[in-house]
Amino acid sequence: MTKTSPKVHQVLATLGYGDAIGHEVLGIQRALRNANFESDIFVETADPRVESLTRDFRDLLDINDPETILIHHFSIGSKASRVAFALQKKMILVYHNITPPEYFIDVHPLLVRQCYRGRRELSAYVNRCALALGDSDYNRLELDSLGFKNTGVLPVVSDFTHLEVEPNPFVAECFDDDWTNILFVGRIIPNKRIDDLIHCFNAYKRINPQSRLLIVGSYSGFEYYLATLHYLVATTGVSDVHFIGQVSNEELTSYYDIGDLYFCASEHEGFCVPLVEAFFKRLPVLAYASTAVPATMDGGGVLYDTKDPVSAASLMETILTNTLLQEKILESQDMALQRLLDKDFSATLLSFVRQVMASPHQQEYRVTSDFWDQLAMADKLEDLRIYRPGIFRALPAQPSHLKTSSSVVSDGKP
């Protein structure tokens, strides 16, 4: 009888294109398959550009092998997360950090709820998973504070092949000139503090009028926040601020190539991959010393700890005009990058997997008796919402004695 390959599958809410979690998920799959594990990626949603690499999370119900291990990437609450919890499989939880929901109030109400629920749900996994891993020590410490007993750090995949592509020439045609290019890469979301970035650039622009700010990253779902940033640019009167949006790998490597300084003002990061991408592209980095950022930079680049735009602008000018200082900064970044590259990601991952394989099965994990019925009902209601939205408008009116309580739930006002 032929022995089947051991199965280690990954589960997450959504697989994005070109983001840090997506790169890590694909890196984990490569490492597992290279070690002869059967490994698929189960998701609730996926970017169309990577959807072919995934399977629907409900397919997990068809996997009967009790020795299967699930690597559950936890970032926000989701149906995929709850199904992974309910299945009687050994679990490794990988925590990518959940942004505090207060950053999204008045900007993205749905994400406020998702982040709040995600942080609440995370505590339920304390006794559910055999091993809980942070992708940084900052995230591991948060797991420790929540009571997870067996924790560790799975370093971010040190794979920069997406930046080793032919640069897009159009980017250079637009921006590679004698002007100074200040670059930021990341999603256009409130915790990245793009507003602070603009204020600091406004102060620097007074020092160096021939400078521009290039903000590269997706704003999908955050169009309202983007509008507030455009309003900020208009009211401050600062010119030459460019919101580029999401880009291809060819365009991304071009932006790193034409940048003169990478500037990050983010207040909340679980790791912050663009910092080490800038290291790899040998672009000097100036970053606000918050959350995981100092550990990610690991002695490379320059950290600042002031919210005063003039002080930050002075630092920018010093870095950009002092060639000897730039060389020292790049040397520090090279050493930090080498320390990251020296970490054997595959060996670390496989060590954690074998540790969990050898561990005894935990007691059965309790879910409510109607959990699977409720899951099936949720799917039916979602189908109706998509394909027959008018059916919800045809619901009978609520009894008058329920309207008051309903309004409290719907708008949060007494």
Which residue in this structure is represented by tokens 């709820």?
Answer: 113
CATH number at residue 61: 3.40.50.2000
pLDDT at 312 over 80: yes
- Whether residue 251 is contained in a domain is answered as yes
Same domain, 131 and 169: no
Domain that holds residue 139: 8-158+344-358
Same domain? For 335 and 351 the reply is no
Residue 7 CB-density burial (10 A; 0-12 exposed, 13-18 middle, 19+ buried) = middle
Domain edge (last residue) among 341, 367, 382 = 341
Measured between alpha carbons, how far is 182 from 118 in angstroms, rounded to an integer?
34
Q: Are residues 182 and 328 in the same domain?
A: yes
Q: How far is CA 231 from CA 29, 62, 242, in A?
A: 43, 51, 13
143 & 165 share domain: no
- For β-strands 211-216 and 241-245, DSSP reports them as parallel
Per-chain mean pLDDT for the chain: 89
**pLDDT interval class at 370 (50, 70, 90):** low
Q: Give the percent of the chain with pLDDT over 70.
A: 90
What would the mean pLDDT of 129-156 be, rounded to a whole number? 93
Q: Are residues 17 and 110 in the same domain?
A: yes
pLDDT computed for residue 82 by the predictor: 83
Question: What is the mean pLDDT of the segment spanning 49-61?
Answer: 91
Instruction: Evaluate whether residue 412 is within a structural domain.
Output: no
Final residue of a structural domain among 288, 306, 341 = 341
Q: Domain ends where: 313, 332, 358?
A: 358
Helix (H, G, I), strand (E, B) or coil at 303: strand
Cα-only R_g, the chain: 23
Contact predicate 80/44, CB 8 Å: yes
Tell me whether residue 13 is in a domain: yes
Identify whether residues 179 and 86 lie together within a single domain: no
Q: Is the pLDDT of residue 403 over 60?
A: no
Residues 237, 261, single domain; the answer is yes
Strands ordered across the beta sheet of 241-245: 241-245, 211-216, 180-185, 261-264, 285-288, 302-304
Are residues 144 and 166 both part of a single domain? no
Q: Specify the pLDDT at position 87.
A: 86
Burial letters for 138-175: b for 16+ Cβ neighbours within 10 Å, e otherwise? bbbebbeeeebeebbbbbbbbebeebeeebbeebeeeb
Same structural domain for residues 219 and 147? no
Q: Is position 404 within any domain?
A: no
The structure tokens 């092998």 sit at 65
**Per the structure, how many domains does the chain have?**
2
pLDDT at residue 4 in the model = 66
Query: Do 139 and 95 contact (CB within 8 A), yes or no?
Result: yes
Same domain (yes/no): 289, 182: yes
Is pLDDT at 362 greater than 90 in this prediction?
Answer: no
**Average pLDDT of the residues in 137-151:** 94
Does residue 388 sit within a domain? no
Establish if 265 belongs to a structural domain: yes
pLDDT at 368: 67
208-235 residue pLDDT tens: 999 999 999 999 889 999 999 999 999 9
Are residues 148 and 110 part of one domain? yes
339 or 3, which is more confident:
339
**Residue 331 within a domain:** yes
Average pLDDT value for residue range 299-313: 97
Q: Do both 108 and 242 map to the same domain?
A: no
Decide: 244 and 214 in contact? Cβ < 8 Å. Answer: yes
Look at residue 377 and tell me if it is in a domain. Answer: no
pLDDT reported for residue 108: 87
